[in-house]
Amino acid sequence: MALPPENAPASPWPPDGLGVVRLPSGRLVRGRGLRHPLPDGPVPTYAVHLLGDRPPEVPWESRLLRWPDFRLPADRAEARAVLADAWERAAVERVELACGGGRGRTGTALACLAVLDGVPADQAVAWVRRHYHPRAVETPWQKRYVRRFGG
């Protein structure tokens, strides 16, 4: 699995790839559970690991956003900046958002990207459940976080 040369635009995710979500702007982002095998096909050029602990070693650029399981991000200002950066990068890179199981934290982060992309905050959880996974965004406080992310 070769990585693209530095500063070269990445080819997008396959639109029908496992976990790939097309945001309203057309940006493609992949959500994934790190406890599941890496899907076949291209690898990310950038990943945000939504974990309470040290992320796995990966051969592509990644960063940790401290986010304990079933909770909210440890630093909400940092989370907003990291997710805004991921949204920007998704215009030209293969961006992946990943937590342990790929539903709660990943779904919440994908819903926040949808808000950044123009989906009304009060509709973003339903949107991500329709376009990513029907049980994405697992807890009441994660749902509330998405609603408040727009404000």
Give the number of residues written for the chain. Answer: 151
**Angle at 57 (CA atoms; ends 99, 85), nearest 5 degrees:** 55
- Segment 70-107, tens digit of pLDDT: 899 999 999 999 999 999 999 999 999 999 999 999 99
Considering only residues 118 and 3, tell me which one the structure prediction assigns the higher pLDDT: 118
Output b/e per residue, 43-69; b: 16+ Cβ within 10 A. Answer: bbbbbbbbbeeebeeeebebeebebee
- Segment 26-35, tens digit of pLDDT: 999 999 999 9
- Was domain 20-149 assigned CATH 3.40.50.300? no
- Segment 34-72, tens digit of pLDDT: 999 999 999 999 999 999 998 889 999 999 999 998 899
Task: Give the global pTM.
Answer: 0.92
Alpha-carbon radius of gyration of the chain: 14
Among 75, 68, 23, residue whose Cα is nearest residue 50: 68
